[in-house]
């Protein structure tokens, strides 16, 4: 894939970049390693001041950053501005909370025959971050803010279609005051991941992206015995039960499916509706989807902009065609307009069957699959019936059902009567083929820490360290 900004609204290439040479990659890793030696010796307070400065810069430069993101991947300007603000919030969160998250954690010294025992969280070194284009700032920031605060350094291999946002991030952390090399953008294709991750100076990797990329990076990391966090795809269920507030559910369903032009890992993708309310929900949902305004993402009245790449648009349409050719029914949308750029209309498809791609695959565009079920148990069976397990949503006013959904949905998160989203305060991640590990909260920060056990005996007492060395 060429490293270039191609405006999805017009299909025009705006700027191209040369991939870095092996020597340039090596020099970047060396800088990241040297910066790590410096960063780990700085105080949390100092790192917090730098991260706060990054938040200030993000807020001051919000509009131009948002404009750049929109030109690279087509999200609406309004959504891009909100993304920049969210990144600033996450920076402030980690700048404030890192001292608490990284504080020594006392253990029960008596139980382990010590005079003192505790857990110490320490940085591990340069971490490779392989990132997607769909939230080009936020996906990176939710790795970078906790990693830098912990004293690690970052090497970013961003998606090839958002090189300018990638460079902006490196520049942001430099201007905020972090040492040279603390956060470096590698302008490189996916073929660079193996040599970079194999380098002994690089200690771990995090990937947000597709299942295929996850498998590839996990294989390299397995060979090299390196820690990974994988945030992969999802086909989140959105279950609607008879007691749900249907108007609200149909309104939120529309946003949950079409936010970010339908290109979000935690977008609701499969709408699983109890037969008692199926027709009423389907009517409201299809009407809401049809009413969305598709158009220039820079226009404030636009709800849905173009898809980020031509290949992505073609893939979404192939999934819809596959279902329709096998007998599925299109309630709205389903045909891309003939115009420059990579557009796809908000679409609802029902009468799906297991042999259709839409039944089990992730659809990365504004296309909803609508499923009819006749009981709670059937809703759970369909909801859990893919290989994914990222987010999930259930709509019910019945407290007993709410409790059951929280337990029975096999996913990294369950949102009841609301749509899945991410907060710096809450852990984020998936199970099954949606990946492993967690981002955000204290857990996200500790993923790339050495969780060090410290046991202190009394001089050469019989319960000394040697007695417990295993
Ligand atoms: P992608 O093709 O996997 O690309 C993501 C990143 O991985 C890019 O930097 C890409 O580089 C790189 N990459 C691709 N194949 C690779 C390989 N074999 N080895 C090493 N690196 C590789 O994903 P995408 O289509 O851009 O993004 C959409 C996917 O990301 C969806 O499945 C979505 O659900 C998932 N996602 C997950 C989360 C989450 O938090 N769980 C969040 C957002 C998106 P190039 O661009 O150079 O190919």
CATH label of the domain that carries residue 348: 3.40.309.10
On whether residue 423 sits in a domain, the answer given is no
Mutate to test the pocket of ligand 1, among 209, 363, 422 (most ligand atoms within 8 A of CB): 209
Q: How many other C-beta atoms are found inside a 10 Å radius of the C-beta of residue 119?
A: 15
Which pLDDT value is given to residue 34? Answer: 98
Ranges assigned E (strand) in 64-203: 105-106, 116-123, 126-130, 153-157, 183-185
Which pLDDT value is given to residue 470? Answer: 40
Distance (Å) from CA 218 to ligand 1 centroid: 13
Are residues 168 and 65 part of one domain? yes
Distance (Å) from CA 76 to ligand 1 centroid: 21
Are residues 286 and 227 part of one domain? no
160 lines ligand 1 (CB under 6 A): yes
43: DSSP letter: -
Are residues 136 and 242 part of one domain? no
Q: From residue 422, give the alpha-carbon distance in Å to each of 254, 270, 368, 412.
A: 18, 19, 21, 12
Are residues 118 and 47 part of one domain? yes
On whether residue 382 sits in a domain, the answer given is yes
Tokens linked to 163 = 């090189």
208 lines ligand 1 (CB under 6 A): yes
Are residues 291 and 406 part of one domain? yes
Angle between helices 138-150 and 163-176 (to 10 degrees): 30
On whether residue 154 sits in a domain, the answer given is yes
Instruction: List, run by run, the mean pLDDT of 10-residue segments along the chain (470 residues).
Output: 96 98 98 98 98 99 98 98 98 98 97 97 98 98 98 98 98 98 98 98 98 98 98 98 98 98 98 98 98 98 98 98 98 96 98 98 98 98 98 98 98 98 98 98 98 88 41
Are residues 149 and 265 part of one domain? no
On whether residue 24 sits in a domain, the answer given is yes
Which pLDDT value is given to residue 1? Answer: 82
- Report how far residue 317's alpha carbon sits from residue 331's, in angstroms, rounded to the nearest whole number: 15
On whether residue 470 sits in a domain, the answer given is no
Are residues 69 and 113 part of one domain? yes
318 lines ligand 1 (CB under 6 A): no
Marked catalytic residue, from 72, 83, 170, 231 = 231
Distance (Å) from CA 93 to ligand 1 centroid: 26
First CA to last CA distance, the chain:
48
20: DSSP letter: P
Nearest one of 88, 444, 426 to 231, comparing CA atoms = 444
Are residues 298 and 206 part of one domain? no
Marked catalytic residue, from 265, 332, 401, 447 = 265
Q: Are 330 and 349 in contact (CB under 8 A)?
A: yes
Are residues 158 and 283 part of one domain? no
Are residues 391 and 253 part of one domain? yes
Are residues 179 and 284 part of one domain? no
234 lines ligand 1 (CB under 6 A): yes
On whether residue 421 sits in a domain, the answer given is no
Per-residue pLDDT tens digits for 129-149: 999 999 999 999 999 999 999
Residue holding tokens 């001051």?
60
Nearest one of 104, 162, 99, 157 to 131, comparing CA atoms = 157
Give, using CA atoms, the residue closest to atom 26 of ligand 1: 132
435-436 and 227-231: which strand pairing?
antiparallel
133 lines ligand 1 (CB under 6 A): yes
Which pLDDT value is given to residue 466? Answer: 39
Contacts of 425 (CB under 8 A, 6+ apart): 93, 440, 441
On whether residue 462 sits in a domain, the answer given is no
Distance (Å) from CA 356 to ligand 1 centroid: 24
Distance (Å) from CA 163 to ligand 1 centroid: 14
213 lines ligand 1 (CB under 6 A): yes
Q: Can you tell me which atom of ligand 1 is nearest the CA of 209?
A: 30
Give, using CA atoms, the residue closest to atom 10 of ligand 1: 159
Per-residue pLDDT tens digits for 383-413: 999 999 999 999 999 999 999 999 999 999 9
Distance (Å) from CA 51 to ligand 1 centroid: 26
What CATH number did the domain enclosing 208 receive?
3.40.605.10
265 lines ligand 1 (CB under 6 A): yes
Residue 445 sits at the vertex; the CA angle it makes with 442 and 447, to the nearest 5 degrees, is 110
91 flagged as catalytic: no
Q: Can you tell me which atom of ligand 1 is nearest the CA of 434?
A: 41
Are residues 257 and 145 part of one domain? no
Prediction pTM value: 0.96
- Domain residues for 409? 236-416
């Amino acid at each position: 894939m060429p490293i270039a900004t191609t405006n999805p609204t017009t299909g025009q290439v705006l700027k191209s970049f040369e991939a870095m040479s092996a020597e340039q990659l090596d020099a970047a890793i060396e800088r990241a390693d040297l910066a790590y030696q410096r960063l780990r010796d700085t105080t949390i307070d100092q790192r917090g001041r730098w991260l706060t400065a990054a938040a200030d810069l993000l807020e001051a430069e919000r509009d131009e950053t948002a404009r750049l993101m929109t030109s690279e991947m087509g999200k609406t300007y309004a959504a891009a501005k909100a993304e920049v603000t969210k990144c600033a919030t996450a920076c402030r969160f980690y700048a404030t909370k890192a001292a608490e998250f990284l504080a020594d954690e006392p253990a029960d010294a008596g139980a382990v025959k010590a005079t003192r025992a505790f857990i110490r969280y320490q940085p591990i070194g340069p971490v490779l971050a392989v990132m997607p284009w769909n939230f080009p700032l936020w996906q990176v920031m939710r790795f970078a803010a906790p990693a830098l605060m912990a004293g690690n350094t970052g090497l970013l291999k961003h998606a090839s279609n958002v090189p300018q946002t990638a460079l902006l991030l490196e520049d942001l952390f430099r201007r905020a005051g972090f040492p040279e090399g603390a956060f470096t953008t590698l302008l490189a294709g996916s073929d660079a991941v193996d040599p970079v991750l194999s380098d002994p100076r690089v200690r771990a990797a995090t990937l947000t992206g597709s299942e295929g990329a996850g498998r590839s990076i996990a294989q390299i990391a397995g060979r090299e015995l390196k820690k990974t966090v994988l945030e992969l795809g999802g086909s989140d269920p959105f279950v609607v039960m008879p007691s749900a507030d249907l108007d609200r559910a149909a309104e939120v369903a529309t946003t949950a499916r079409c936010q970010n032009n339908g290109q979000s890992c935690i977008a609701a993708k499969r709408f699983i509706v109890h037969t008692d309310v199926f027709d009423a929900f389907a009517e409201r949902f299809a009407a809401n989807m049809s009413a969305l305004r598709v158009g220039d993402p820079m226009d404030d009245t636009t709800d849905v902009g173009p898809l980020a790449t031509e290949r992505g648009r073609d893939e979404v349409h192939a999934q819809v065609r596959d279902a329709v050719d096998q007998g599925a029914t299109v309630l709205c949308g389903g045909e891309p307009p003939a115009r420059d750029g990579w557009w796809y209309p908000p679409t609802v498809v029902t009468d799906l069957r297991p042999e259709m791609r839409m039944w089990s695959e992730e659809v990365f565009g504004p296309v909803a699959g609508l499923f009819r079920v006749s009981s709670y148990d059937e809703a759970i069976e369909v909801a859990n019936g893919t290989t994914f397990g990222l987010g999930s949503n259930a709509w019910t006013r019945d407290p007993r059902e709410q409790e059951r959904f929280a337990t029975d949905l096999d996913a990294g998160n369950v949102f009841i009567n609301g749509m899945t989203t991410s907060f710096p305060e809450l852990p984020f991640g998936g199970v099954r083929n949606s990946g492993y590990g967690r981002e955000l909260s204290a857990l996200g920060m500790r993923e790339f820490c050495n969780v060090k056990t410290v046991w202190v005996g009394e001089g050469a007492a019989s319960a000394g360290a040697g007695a417990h060395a295993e």
